[in-house]
Structures are given as C-alpha cells and as structure tokens.
Structure 1
Amino acid sequence: MTTWYPAGLLEGAPAKPYGIIVLNQPINAPALNAVVETAVMLVCADAGANRLMQYDGHTGVKKRSPDAIVGDLDSLSNEARQHYANQGVQIPEDPDQYSTDFTKSLRWMRREWDSREGEDSDLDVVVMSGLGGRVDQAFSQIHHMYMVLQQRDLLRGSLYLLSEQSLSFVLAAGQNEMHVNNRAFAENVGIIPVLGLTHITTSGFEWDVSNWATEFGKQVSTSNHIRSDVVKVKVHGSRPLFTLELVKDLCASDPQQQSRAVTEKV
C-alpha cells in the first residue's frame, strides 16, 4: 500500500522532506505561502525567477531566496538575474536543448540533495504550476509528471503539482491511501486515466466504485466528493492522475485574472 499525506504538506507538517520548483507560470500565492517555509530547497526553472520576484514584491507573502535558478536562461529577465545574483543565488546555465527547464531543475535539485543526504534519501518535489492557462503547457506539465517517474536522476520521491485551485499527483499501482481533511481540501476530486484504460476501486467518497473501468472516450471520474479524512483508491492497470481541490483560502483569488495580469508583466 502507498500512503499519501497531502494535507500535512499544506499544513506545515510534511511526512517527508520536499523541495519546490517554481515554473514560469502564474504563482498561486496562498498555496506557495503554505509550503515555502518547510521546504528544504527552492529552485526556479529559468523565468520562474521572474515569477518569484513578482511574488516577493507583494505584501503578505513569505519571502525566501531560491537556492538556484536553473535552465538555459533564455527567458530570465536581467532584473531578476541581478536581483538574485546580489543575494548569492546560484544561476547555473544549462544549454542542453534535449531537456526542458523543468527537467533541468529536477536534475539539479536531485544532485544537490544527493550531496547533502546521500543517494538513497528520498526527496519529494512540489511544482508551482499553472493548469488554468495555455492548454499545451498544462499538458506538458502533466506529461512531465509521468515522464520522471522512472528517471532516478530526476526524482526519487513523489511529485506534486500545486496549481491555481488544485493539488495533483500520480497514484501508485495497487492500493493508495490518502490522508486529507477539510482544512486543506474542498470536497471535489478527480481520478483521471491519463495513460489509458485502468480499473479503480474506491472508498471514502460520496460515490464509491468497485473494479470500475475508466478510460478517456468512455467514463472518467471527475467531481466526486470526499466523505472521509482517509480516502482510498485501488488501481489495477495504468496509473491515473489524482487531483484534489484546494480550500478557498489556498486558491489563487482569481486564477483567470491572475494569469492575465502576471503574463502582461513578464
């Protein structure tokens, strides 16, 4: 059985150490506030540093310098580069055109954690993402969630996407047990069969199912409701994406408006 503690992650009581990667996407400030203090590392993927500097410029946010800004740096603004260089932040340039700034950041973080804790130590990663903007970029982020699962030079631990209104992660094969509560999450959840046909058995939801086939083009479980502090999903087949709706206090105030405003400033 694989046990998940997503509520603890958002409440300052993580079950395992984790790092944060900031992508070049609109930042959900309340959500970043919730996770930034207990993170062991903070890395910006190229122009993610532009986004972090804008976040730092607002009142009521928890400011923290990144450990590094990683990527080919073609989108990093001169202002952000100088701002963080003055703070002693590492800014390694990686010109490799066969990997994305997302994967470069994961690789840097993994190597840094290996140097601190050893190669056998797990490190979860929380990615500050944006799934409410361009569709191709949203699919790219979900693609990366699956791509890195078997690449130990990129990830040894779990990967979470923390977006405007949701926390998402890829379920393991077999039984999954998620510890959730209504302080961190609203009631809506989705179990999305990204890789194709799978069968799920659930408990702790308003509409539980047993050995239920789910597949794009047929039937997909969206907008189910949490009805327990511990919910379970047994997976037989391809691994689905599990997505939890954040409580209002952890959501971006207006994801559509925020996305437009931040984009205009970059």
Structure 2
Amino acid sequence: MTTTWHPTGLLEGQPAKPYGIIILNQPINRNALNAVISHAVLLVCADGGGNRLMKYEEDTELRKRLPDAIVGDLDSLSIEAADYWKCKGVKIVRYADQYATDFTKSLRWMRQEWDKQKGEDAELDVVVMGGLGGRVDQGFSQIHHLYMVHQQPELLRGSIYLLSEQSLSFVLAVGENEVYINQKSFAENVGIIPVLGLTRITTSGLEWDVSDWPTEFGAQVSTSNHIRSDLVKITVGDKRPLLTFELANGLCAAEF
C-alpha cells in the first residue's frame, strides 16, 4: 500500500484535503501561519494559543481570521485575550479534564465539529502551529502527540502536521510513502527520525539515498540529507519514523 503526501499544497494554498489549524501556546511562526490560515476550514486555539493569536491579529499587515473556538482548561488564557475574543463572538470552551492536554482537547473539539458538518467518516487534516526551539520537554510533547493521535480516531481522521519555526514535520506510514513537494516551499534539508526505535528505510529522491537501511537512536540516523527531486519516496519498515523538511527562507520564523 502506498501513502501519498502533498505538504506543498498546504503552504501554497492548494491543499489536497480540507484541513484545520490548531494554535498552541507557543511563539507563532507568522510567515508560515500567513501561508496556511486563509484556507483552513477550522481554526482552534489551545488555551493560551488565544493569547498568541490575539497578538497576530493585532498586526494589521497580517491576514485576519477569527478562531472557531478557544479550547482548554483556560488556565493560560489571559483575561485580556478572553475579553478580546468574546467581543468578537468567538466560542470559549472549557474542559476541566486534567488527564488530557489542551492539545488533545482542541483536537477532540475540532473532530467533533467536523463530524457535525461533514459526518463521522469525513477526513480532516490538521496543521499544528507549534515550536521546537524552546523547552525540550515541550518539544518532545508535541512529537508525542503526533504519534498518539494516529491511534485515536475520535481525535484524528486524516493526517497531522507540525509547522514550527523552521520545519514542517509529520509521521510517515508503514510501507511506501510518496511525498510530492515543490522545492520553492522547502529548503534542501530533510531528516528521517526513528522516534519509535529500530526500523528500516529505503529512499529515492534524496542526495544520499539508502536501501533497506537500519536506523535507530544510538546507531545511525538520517539527518541533514538533501532533497533532489519533486517526488521523494520512502519505504518504511514496521515502526513509523518522523519526516521533517526545512522550510524555505520566506516561510521560516522571522524571529525565535
């Protein structure tokens, strides 16, 4: 079975499937958010993400898009931001469950809302605006969520992407993956990270392709490889690795 990916479409206003955006309580990569916000069918702020989006909205040079909801336990949403969004008619949804993160609460709300609009079998991709340049534990938490939600259809039916300061990252499928890209959206650097442990990969379309190559932490890992084709093929063994592309300069965060 072959899984196809079209990450360039997200960044160039031609998505292959409908997608929603979740804004985490992380510094926003404004250039990347500008590229994806206009075509999002749903926009959700995870708790303090509402503070971040308010600052984004206040910059009149940036595109404006009201969130469909602010979701979480609301311990990080400022009073100022809550009032700001309430005045604009934005839903503020409080979930008090301390055993779920604001990330998963936002995913659950988005999935339920899409079910209401399109039915339970309708796929919806998700773009998560996060950051990997701050606290290490928070960065690992975001990667953890990319893996976790694939096992929970009540949270995700579709693909999920992490759009951070310099990269677009997502979890490959077991088997053959075909990734269609336009190199205007990406710099040349690419990494294939064996987060779950030892797996074997075969690649084509990269500068240093490999065949049935074992990869795991503590041994050999494919980082800082280079894109050499608009179609990158990666065949994966039994454990799904993380694929991460470096964004082109115009999409990278202006500041960290």
| TM-score, length of structure 1 as denominator length | 0.95
Match of residue 81 from structure 1? 82
Cα drift, residue 198 of structure 1: 0.4
**Displacement, 1:59?**
3.8
Q: 3-state DSSP class of the match of 1:13?
A: coil
Q: For 1:25-40, list aligned pairs within 5 A.
A: 25-40=26-41
Partner of 2:200: 199
- Structure 1 unaligned runs (5+)? 256-266
Residue in 2 aligned with 1:231?
A: 232
Matches within 5 A, 1:69-108: 69-108=70-109
Q: Residue deviations 1:37-95, cap 9 Å, x none?
A: 00000000000000001111224211111000000001100010000011111101100
Q: Distance in 1 between matches of 2:60 and 2:88?
A: 20
| RMSD, aligned α-carbons | 0.6
2:141 is matched with: 140
Moved over 2 A (4+): none
After superposition, the C-alpha distances for 1:222-253 in whole angstroms (9 at most, x for unaligned) are 00000000101000121000000000000001
* Superposed displacement of residue 154, structure 1: 0.3
Provide the residue aligned with 2:213 in structure 1: 212
Residues of 1 paired with 2:228 and 2:49: CA distance?
36
**Distance across 1 between alignment mates of 2:59 and 2:224:** 33
How many Å separate the matches in 2 of 1:23 and 1:115? Answer: 24
Structure 1 CA distance for aligned equivalents of residues 139 and 84 of structure 2: 29
* TM-score for both structures, normalised by structure 2: 0.99
**1: CA distance, partners of 2:252 / 2:192:** 20
Residues 124-169 of structure 1 show CA distances to partners (whole Å, capped at 9, x for unaligned) of 0000000111100000000011111010100000000000000000
Q: Alignment identity in percent?
A: 71
The answer as to 2:112 corresponding to 1:111 is yes
Residue 16 of structure 1: SS of its match in structure 2?
Answer: coil
Match of 2:162 in 1: 161
Alignment of 1:240-251 (within 5 A): 240-251=241-252
* Matches for 1:58-73 after TM superposition, within 5 Å: 58-73=59-74
Alpha-carbon distance in 2 for matches of 1:197, 1:149: 19
Cα offsets for 1:86-113 (capped at 9, x unmatched): 1111101100011000000000000000
**2-side partners of 1:61 and 1:170: how far apart?**
30
Q: Count the aligned residue pairs.
A: 255
Tell me how far apart the structure 2 counterparts of residues 53 and 137 of structure 1 sit (CA, whole Å).
22
